[in-house]
Structure 1
Amino acid sequence: MGRNPMRAAVTLCAAAALAVPFGTAFAAPSAQPTTRTQQTQDPVLVDCSGQPQIGPASYVLACGDGNSRLVSITWYRWDTHAAVGRGTNAVNDCDPYCAAGAFHSYPVTVRLDQPTAAGQGTGEPHFTRITLTYTDGRPDGSPRTVSYPLPG
């Protein structure tokens, strides 16, 4: 790592943080539909790069650094009021620091709700809150159920 290992670690973290938004924008499309048709009025889920999605198989929760993401999501409901699915929350423990940390997987139930009306923010209805309920284990210090505001 050269003469200054801390500088190298910070540089690696910064590079990873900058790469995350581009990774979701240029990733291969999932097998599930990610765009809406004109006839559909169901709200979308807006990702870190501002792209609308319906039924994504994965979703980055920590847009700045990618240290928390949902993977292997299976959606059971997606309508004008809410979306509900199951998946896995992959969370970096950042121990001793994020670049050297390890990802741990926790099964979760995912709920999207509080949709906006069409025309607000993105110009189309979108969910504004995500709630995760950990079903078997959870990250240290995390409550069983957590809610976060969504971009849009």
Structure 2
Amino acid sequence: MRGSLVGTAITLAAGTLLTAAMTTAAASTATTAGAKQASPPPVLVDCQWRRDYRPVDFILACGDGNSRLSGLQWKHWNAEGATAVGVNMVNDCKPYCAAGTFRYYQVTVRLDRPQAWKKDPNVQHFTRMSLTYADARPEGYKQVMTYPLWD
């Protein structure tokens, strides 16, 4: 009888160890899958190489600041793209930029084409921006202007 009890105890211990190992493996797989889904959304990189998420303002003309986005209200921002509405403030540079007047144009902003950022390959950033002007637009601009974003 004693041999039978020892055999039963060994069988139960082995079953318990096997169950614990399988539970640990399943938890590890679930954590890994959750980490992939929880990766942060792409960012928008600004003129000073800072990453930003849903910025309210964004400078388009980094050299002189004569074109900027302001009052951005983001409708969505995910791994594929982002969309906002706001104002494009553009200096008309008449008679020259220092004496020019900033004009305000309603725009829809779209970000897309996320890629790994060269400065930090673990970070995805948007590489293209499109501006769609609602009505009026700056002289020489098309209704939709598309710009590559810096890396």
State TM-score, norm by structure 2.
Answer: 0.72
Using the alignment, how far apart are the partners of 1:42 and 1:104 within structure 2?
32
CA RMSD of aligned residues (A): 1.0
Unaligned runs of at least 5 residues, structure 1: 1-38
**Equivalent position amino acid for 1:121 in 2:** K
Give the match for residue 41 of structure 2.
42
- Percent identical pairs in the alignment equals 50
Aligned-partner residue type, residue 45 of structure 2: V
Deviation at 1:107, TM superposition (A): 0.1
Matched with 1:116 is: 115
> CA offsets per residue over residues 111-152 of structure 1, 9 Å max, x none?
0000003xx413110000000000021001110000001112
1:74 paired with 2:98, answer no
Q: Could you tell me which residue of structure 2 aligns to residue 6 of structure 1?
A: none
Aligned to 2:126: 127
Hey, what's the Cα distance between the residues in 1 that align with 2:39 and 2:55? 16
SS of match in other structure, 1:116: strand
Structure 2 residue aligned with 1:96: 95
- Unpaired runs of at least 5, structure 2: 1-37
Matches within 5 A, 1:26-41: 40-41=39-40
**Distance in 1, Cα, partners of 2:40 & 2:128:** 18
**How many Å separate the matches in 2 of 1:133 and 1:43?**
21
The answer for the alignment partner of 1:17 in structure 2 is none
Report the CA distance between 1:40 and its aligned residue.
Answer: 4.2
Count residues with an aligned counterpart.
112
1:59 alignment partner AA = F
Q: Secondary structure at the match of 1:99?
A: helix
Greater fraction helix? 2
For 1:78 and 1:133, the matched residues in 2 are separated by 17
CA distance in 2, matches of 1:122, 1:87: 28
State the match for 1:147 in structure 2.
146
